[in-house]
Amino acid sequence: MTSKHARSAQPATGVAPAVYGQSDRPPRGDYSRAAADYTCAQDYAAYTEADHDTYRRLYERQSALLPGLASRHFIEALPRLGAKERIPRFDEVNERLYRATGWEIVGVPGLIPEVPFFSLLANRKFPVTDWIRTPGEFEYIVEPDIFHDLFGHVPLLFNPAIADYIQAYGQGGLRAAGLDACEMLSRLYWYTIEFGLVREDGGLRAYGAGILSSSGELAHCVQNPEPLRLPLTLERAMRTLYKIDSYQQTYFVIDSLQQLFDFTTQDFAPLYARLRNQPTVAAHTLEPADKPIAIC
């Protein structure tokens, strides 16, 4: 799940779906099923055999790509998702996840606005879209579906450092909403939880869900010499614009998963105040102070 940067469109009934940018079609997902906090029960009976087959094929293809490209923490945690032949039941995942880190996954009909998103994370509840892409979208889907949310995000919720970081992000998001700083904070989420790289075993590995659930970007982000790779600093990441419709042109690298949580122990309010006086940076723009990381 990602909050991106949303506005709300008021529907005739139910909660308001999240809308991003301009689109020729309405938001996907049945928001009339959602409660006021945007959560909904996983409608397991609604999955068809074709849905389960899509999940099985996505899981099989993606898990085969992980060695040497994905963080070992992710690879080690992946089996804890459970079933790979069929779409997992959220309550069965939660039995293991809650015991491990106190987190739960909750169903949502699709993208949700920022404040409900932050509120769920602050309470150690991770929103997972409960529908799956069509077979025709096997290679690419615009918005997150259950495969992105479950396969990409949930394994690292079993990791204590990531579990604490995402909760801190949610708590920080609620504060940022009061400071009109959500856009800056959302860039940090984008460049860490969605598209982050970590140093491991003498090289770089992916830990971001947007990468881990993408067949093409996984090798691209680790092996292609084209994109910029920079050590993660809060200021640089929060100033950097990002692409939502292509591979990233800049990736930020951390030394360890624990480093992510350590970043959140400082007060972001003075940081936001400083950043308001600084220009944003286009993706793939090298600044004089940057120290790009070369790949071997």
Greatest Cα pair distance in the chain? 55
CB of residue 293 vs Fe ion: minimum separation in angstroms? 24
CB of residue 148 vs Fe ion: minimum separation in angstroms? 6
Name the residue nearer to Fe ion (CB basis): 209 or 228.
209
Residues 84 and 5: their CA atoms lie apart, in Å, by: 32
Name the residue nearer to Fe ion (CB basis): 186 or 275.
186
Residue 191 · residue 252 · CB < 8 Å: yes
Residue 228 · residue 284 · CB < 8 Å: yes
Residues 295 and 196: their CA atoms lie apart, in Å, by: 15
Name the residue nearer to Fe ion (CB basis): 156 or 209.
209
Name the residue nearer to Fe ion (CB basis): 114 or 275.
114
CB of residue 66 vs Fe ion: minimum separation in angstroms? 17
Residue 16, classed as helix, strand or coil, is: coil
C-alpha to C-alpha distances, 230 to 259, 291, 295, nearest whole angstrom: 15, 6, 11
Name the residue nearer to Fe ion (CB basis): 97 or 275.
97
Residue numbers at the binding site for Fe ion (CB under 5 A): 2, 144, 209
| 70 DSSP 8-state letter | B
CB of residue 213 vs Fe ion: minimum separation in angstroms? 8
CB of residue 48 vs Fe ion: minimum separation in angstroms? 24
> Which position's Cβ is nearest Fe ion?
2
